[in-house]
Amino acid sequence: VEPRKPLIAGNWKMNLTHLEGIHLVQKLAMSLPEKYYAKVDVAVLPPFTHIRSVQTLIDGDELLMVHGAQDISPYDSGAYTGDVSGPMLAKLGCKYVVVGHSERREYHHETDELVNLKVRAALKHGITPILCVGEGLDVREAGGHIAHITAQLRAALAKVPAAQITGEGPTLVVAYEPIWAIGTGKVASPADAQEACAALRATLAELYDADVARRLRILYGGSVKSSNVGEIVAEPDVDGALVGGASLDGAEFAKLCAVA
Protein backbone atom coordinates (compact mmCIF):
# COMPACT_ATOMS: atom_id res chain seq x y z
CA VAL A 1 0.00 0.00 0.00
CA GLU A 2 1.50 3.32 -1.02
CA PRO A 3 1.70 5.83 1.84
CA ARG A 4 -0.65 8.77 1.66
CA LYS A 5 1.22 11.91 0.63
CA PRO A 6 0.42 14.70 3.09
CA LEU A 7 -1.58 17.70 1.91
CA ILE A 8 -1.23 21.14 3.42
CA ALA A 9 -4.04 23.44 2.29
CA GLY A 10 -4.08 27.14 3.15
CA ASN A 11 -7.57 28.55 3.60
CA TRP A 12 -7.15 32.32 3.29
CA LYS A 13 -10.79 32.91 4.23
CA MET A 14 -11.89 36.53 3.58
CA ASN A 15 -8.42 38.06 3.83
CA LEU A 16 -6.00 39.97 1.57
CA THR A 17 -6.60 41.97 -1.58
CA HIS A 18 -5.75 40.18 -4.81
CA LEU A 19 -2.46 42.10 -4.97
CA GLU A 20 -1.57 40.91 -1.48
CA GLY A 21 -2.60 37.41 -2.57
CA ILE A 22 -0.16 37.52 -5.49
CA HIS A 23 2.55 38.68 -3.11
CA LEU A 24 1.77 35.84 -0.71
CA VAL A 25 2.03 33.19 -3.44
CA GLN A 26 5.34 34.69 -4.58
CA LYS A 27 6.65 34.71 -1.04
CA LEU A 28 5.56 31.11 -0.52
CA ALA A 29 7.20 30.05 -3.77
CA MET A 30 10.46 31.76 -2.80
CA SER A 31 10.42 30.32 0.71
CA LEU A 32 9.66 26.66 -0.05
CA PRO A 33 12.38 24.88 -2.06
CA GLU A 34 10.99 22.75 -4.89
CA LYS A 35 12.39 19.52 -3.44
CA TYR A 36 9.77 19.62 -0.68
CA TYR A 37 6.96 19.09 -3.14
CA ALA A 38 8.09 15.49 -3.62
CA LYS A 39 7.03 14.89 -0.02
CA VAL A 40 4.07 17.21 0.47
CA ASP A 41 1.24 18.56 -1.68
CA VAL A 42 0.60 22.27 -1.16
CA ALA A 43 -2.64 24.06 -2.01
CA VAL A 44 -3.75 27.67 -1.60
CA LEU A 45 -7.44 28.52 -1.32
CA PRO A 46 -7.94 32.24 -1.97
CA PRO A 47 -11.20 34.19 -2.17
CA PHE A 48 -12.95 33.97 -5.57
CA THR A 49 -11.75 37.41 -6.65
CA HIS A 50 -8.10 36.33 -6.41
CA ILE A 51 -8.30 33.00 -8.20
CA ARG A 52 -7.56 34.23 -11.72
CA SER A 53 -4.46 36.12 -10.56
CA VAL A 54 -3.22 33.18 -8.51
CA GLN A 55 -3.86 30.78 -11.38
CA THR A 56 -1.91 32.99 -13.79
CA LEU A 57 1.02 33.14 -11.40
CA ILE A 58 1.08 29.41 -10.65
CA ASP A 59 0.73 28.40 -14.31
CA GLY A 60 2.97 31.10 -15.74
CA ASP A 61 5.84 30.43 -13.37
CA GLU A 62 5.22 26.67 -13.27
CA LEU A 63 4.92 26.72 -9.50
CA LEU A 64 4.41 23.33 -7.91
CA MET A 65 1.59 24.39 -5.59
CA VAL A 66 -2.01 24.16 -6.73
CA HIS A 67 -5.01 26.38 -6.06
CA GLY A 68 -8.63 25.93 -5.16
CA ALA A 69 -11.69 27.75 -3.87
CA GLN A 70 -13.50 28.16 -0.57
CA ASP A 71 -17.05 27.48 -1.74
CA ILE A 72 -19.04 26.11 -4.69
CA SER A 73 -22.65 26.40 -5.74
CA PRO A 74 -24.63 23.16 -5.85
CA TYR A 75 -25.93 24.34 -9.25
CA ASP A 76 -24.09 24.63 -12.57
CA SER A 77 -25.60 27.97 -13.65
CA GLY A 78 -28.72 30.06 -13.31
CA ALA A 79 -30.39 32.76 -11.25
CA TYR A 80 -28.27 32.43 -8.10
CA THR A 81 -26.97 35.92 -7.49
CA GLY A 82 -23.54 36.05 -5.93
CA ASP A 83 -22.80 32.34 -6.24
CA VAL A 84 -19.97 30.69 -8.16
CA SER A 85 -20.37 27.32 -9.87
CA GLY A 86 -18.31 24.21 -10.48
CA PRO A 87 -17.84 24.84 -14.21
CA MET A 88 -16.52 28.35 -13.42
CA LEU A 89 -14.02 27.01 -10.88
CA ALA A 90 -12.94 24.11 -13.08
CA LYS A 91 -12.28 26.53 -15.95
CA LEU A 92 -9.94 28.47 -13.64
CA GLY A 93 -7.96 25.33 -12.85
CA CYS A 94 -9.22 24.85 -9.30
CA LYS A 95 -8.15 21.45 -7.99
CA TYR A 96 -9.82 21.69 -4.60
CA VAL A 97 -12.83 23.33 -3.02
CA VAL A 98 -13.66 23.62 0.68
CA VAL A 99 -17.12 22.27 1.46
CA GLY A 100 -18.90 22.19 4.79
CA HIS A 101 -16.59 24.56 6.65
CA SER A 102 -18.00 25.34 10.09
CA GLU A 103 -18.02 29.07 9.30
CA ARG A 104 -20.35 28.44 6.36
CA ARG A 105 -22.47 25.99 8.34
CA GLU A 106 -22.85 28.67 11.02
CA TYR A 107 -22.98 32.02 9.20
CA HIS A 108 -24.67 30.80 6.01
CA HIS A 109 -26.84 28.16 7.68
CA GLU A 110 -25.50 25.40 5.43
CA THR A 111 -27.18 22.10 6.21
CA ASP A 112 -25.85 18.56 5.78
CA GLU A 113 -28.12 18.30 2.73
CA LEU A 114 -26.59 21.37 1.09
CA VAL A 115 -23.09 20.18 1.95
CA ASN A 116 -23.91 16.89 0.21
CA LEU A 117 -25.10 18.72 -2.92
CA LYS A 118 -21.90 20.78 -2.96
CA VAL A 119 -19.69 17.69 -2.59
CA ARG A 120 -21.47 16.14 -5.56
CA ALA A 121 -21.24 19.35 -7.61
CA ALA A 122 -17.48 19.50 -7.04
CA LEU A 123 -16.92 15.87 -8.02
CA LYS A 124 -19.14 16.28 -11.09
CA HIS A 125 -16.81 19.00 -12.35
CA GLY A 126 -13.53 17.31 -11.55
CA ILE A 127 -12.75 19.24 -8.37
CA THR A 128 -11.71 17.47 -5.16
CA PRO A 129 -13.87 18.57 -2.22
CA ILE A 130 -12.11 19.21 1.06
CA LEU A 131 -15.04 18.15 3.19
CA CYS A 132 -14.95 19.66 6.67
CA VAL A 133 -16.56 18.11 9.70
CA GLY A 134 -16.16 19.06 13.34
CA GLU A 135 -17.91 19.42 16.66
CA GLY A 136 -18.50 22.41 18.89
CA LEU A 137 -17.23 22.63 22.46
CA ASP A 138 -20.58 21.60 23.95
CA VAL A 139 -20.64 18.38 21.92
CA ARG A 140 -17.00 17.62 22.78
CA GLU A 141 -17.60 18.16 26.50
CA ALA A 142 -20.63 15.88 26.40
CA GLY A 143 -18.50 13.19 24.74
CA GLY A 144 -20.52 13.20 21.53
CA HIS A 145 -17.79 14.28 19.12
CA ILE A 146 -17.23 10.97 17.34
CA ALA A 147 -20.95 10.39 16.77
CA HIS A 148 -21.31 13.98 15.57
CA ILE A 149 -18.51 13.97 13.01
CA THR A 150 -19.22 10.51 11.64
CA ALA A 151 -22.88 11.51 11.14
CA GLN A 152 -21.74 14.65 9.30
CA LEU A 153 -19.47 12.52 7.10
CA ARG A 154 -22.22 10.02 6.27
CA ALA A 155 -24.67 12.79 5.40
CA ALA A 156 -22.15 14.61 3.20
CA LEU A 157 -21.38 11.46 1.22
CA ALA A 158 -24.96 10.36 0.52
CA LYS A 159 -25.26 9.21 -3.11
CA VAL A 160 -21.53 9.53 -3.71
CA PRO A 161 -20.43 6.22 -5.24
CA ALA A 162 -16.93 4.85 -4.64
CA ALA A 163 -16.11 5.18 -8.33
CA GLN A 164 -16.40 8.97 -8.04
CA ILE A 165 -13.73 9.29 -5.37
CA THR A 166 -11.26 6.61 -6.34
CA GLY A 167 -10.51 7.26 -9.99
CA GLU A 168 -7.64 9.05 -11.68
CA GLY A 169 -9.29 12.44 -11.44
CA PRO A 170 -10.79 14.19 -8.44
CA THR A 171 -10.94 12.35 -5.20
CA LEU A 172 -12.10 13.26 -1.73
CA VAL A 173 -10.26 14.90 1.14
CA VAL A 174 -11.87 14.94 4.58
CA ALA A 175 -10.85 17.53 7.16
CA TYR A 176 -11.50 17.14 10.87
CA GLU A 177 -11.88 20.64 12.23
CA PRO A 178 -13.07 20.89 15.83
CA ILE A 179 -14.85 24.24 16.02
CA TRP A 180 -13.34 24.99 19.41
CA ALA A 181 -9.87 24.88 17.84
CA ILE A 182 -10.51 27.10 14.81
CA GLY A 183 -8.89 30.50 15.08
CA THR A 184 -8.74 30.16 18.84
CA GLY A 185 -5.09 29.21 19.25
CA LYS A 186 -6.41 26.15 21.08
CA VAL A 187 -5.10 23.19 19.12
CA ALA A 188 -6.44 19.67 19.56
CA SER A 189 -3.91 17.26 21.03
CA PRO A 190 -2.30 14.86 18.57
CA ALA A 191 -4.21 12.06 20.32
CA ASP A 192 -7.54 13.89 19.87
CA ALA A 193 -6.78 14.49 16.18
CA GLN A 194 -5.82 10.84 15.72
CA GLU A 195 -8.94 9.57 17.49
CA ALA A 196 -11.20 11.65 15.25
CA CYS A 197 -9.35 10.94 12.00
CA ALA A 198 -9.27 7.20 12.72
CA ALA A 199 -13.02 7.23 13.40
CA LEU A 200 -13.61 9.07 10.12
CA ARG A 201 -11.46 6.54 8.27
CA ALA A 202 -13.40 3.67 9.85
CA THR A 203 -16.62 5.31 8.68
CA LEU A 204 -15.22 5.59 5.14
CA ALA A 205 -14.41 1.88 5.31
CA GLU A 206 -18.01 1.15 6.30
CA LEU A 207 -19.45 3.39 3.59
CA TYR A 208 -17.08 2.09 0.90
CA ASP A 209 -14.41 -0.44 1.75
CA ALA A 210 -11.09 -0.70 3.57
CA ASP A 211 -9.07 -0.03 0.45
CA VAL A 212 -10.91 3.21 -0.35
CA ALA A 213 -10.57 4.29 3.28
CA ARG A 214 -6.85 3.54 3.26
CA ARG A 215 -6.26 5.67 0.18
CA LEU A 216 -8.20 8.83 1.09
CA ARG A 217 -6.52 11.69 2.89
CA ILE A 218 -7.89 12.96 6.17
CA LEU A 219 -6.58 16.29 7.43
CA TYR A 220 -6.68 18.01 10.78
CA GLY A 221 -7.54 21.72 11.00
CA GLY A 222 -7.61 24.13 13.92
CA SER A 223 -4.83 26.51 14.94
CA VAL A 224 -2.13 24.59 13.08
CA LYS A 225 1.25 26.36 12.97
CA SER A 226 4.77 25.39 11.98
CA SER A 227 5.46 24.75 15.66
CA ASN A 228 2.72 22.14 16.15
CA VAL A 229 2.16 20.62 12.68
CA GLY A 230 4.94 18.06 13.09
CA GLU A 231 3.44 16.17 16.01
CA ILE A 232 -0.03 16.29 14.47
CA VAL A 233 0.88 14.86 11.05
CA ALA A 234 3.04 12.24 12.77
CA GLU A 235 -0.21 10.53 13.83
CA PRO A 236 -0.94 7.56 11.57
CA ASP A 237 -4.40 8.67 10.39
CA VAL A 238 -3.64 12.40 10.00
CA ASP A 239 -2.54 13.07 6.42
CA GLY A 240 -1.95 16.80 6.51
CA ALA A 241 -3.60 20.00 7.63
CA LEU A 242 -6.13 22.60 6.66
CA VAL A 243 -4.60 25.86 7.81
CA GLY A 244 -6.33 29.20 8.32
CA GLY A 245 -4.45 31.97 10.09
CA ALA A 246 -0.96 30.57 9.55
CA SER A 247 -1.51 30.36 5.78
CA LEU A 248 -1.54 34.17 5.49
CA ASP A 249 2.17 34.54 6.18
CA GLY A 250 4.27 33.20 3.30
CA ALA A 251 7.37 32.41 5.34
CA GLU A 252 5.41 30.75 8.16
CA PHE A 253 3.25 28.74 5.76
CA ALA A 254 6.35 27.62 3.83
CA LYS A 255 7.95 26.51 7.09
CA LEU A 256 4.78 24.67 8.05
CA CYS A 257 4.79 22.82 4.68
CA ALA A 258 8.48 21.98 5.08
CA VAL A 259 7.93 20.56 8.57
CA ALA A 260 4.97 18.47 7.32
Q: Which residues are catalytic?
A: 101, 177
In whole angstroms, what is the distance from residue 107 CA to residue 127 CA? 24
Q: Give the range of 15-23, 27-35, 189-197, 239-247 binding ligand PEP by CB under 6 A.
A: 239-247
Q: Which position among 84, 97, 123, 182 is part of the footprint of ligand PEP (CB under 6 A)? A: 182
11 binds ligand PEP (CB under 6 A): yes
Give, in order, the Cα–Cα distances in Å from 130 to each of 43, 65, 68, 196, 252: 11, 16, 10, 16, 22
In whole angstroms, what is the distance from residue 190 CA to residue 97 CA? 25
Q: Report which of 253, 141, 148, 259 is spatially closest to residue 196, judged by C-alpha positions.
A: 148
Q: Which position among 244, 249, 253, 260 is part of the footprint of ligand PEP (CB under 6 A)? A: 244
Q: Report which of 203, 115, 208, 198 is spatially closest to residue 154, judged by C-alpha positions.
A: 203
Number of residues forming the site for ligand PEP (CB under 6 A): 13
Q: 69 vs 208, which CB is nearer to ligand PEP?
A: 69
Q: 228-240 burial, b if ≥16 CB within 10 A, otherwise e?
A: bbeebbebebbbb
107 close to 149: Cβ distance less than 8 angstroms: no
From first CA to last CA, the distance across the chain in angstroms is 20
223 binds ligand PEP (CB under 6 A): yes
Q: Give the range of 88-96, 116-124, 220-228, 251-259 binding ligand PEP by CB under 6 A.
A: 220-228
240 binds ligand PEP (CB under 6 A): no
> In the bound complex, which residue of the shown chain has the CB atom lying closest to ligand PEP?
244
243 binds ligand PEP (CB under 6 A): yes
Q: Residue 237 in 3-state DSSP?
A: coil
Binding site listing for substrate: 11-13, 183, 223, 244-245
72 binds ligand PEP (CB under 6 A): no
70 binds ligand PEP (CB under 6 A): no
Report the interface residues with ligand PEP, using CB under 6 A. Answer: 11, 177, 182-183, 221-224, 242-246
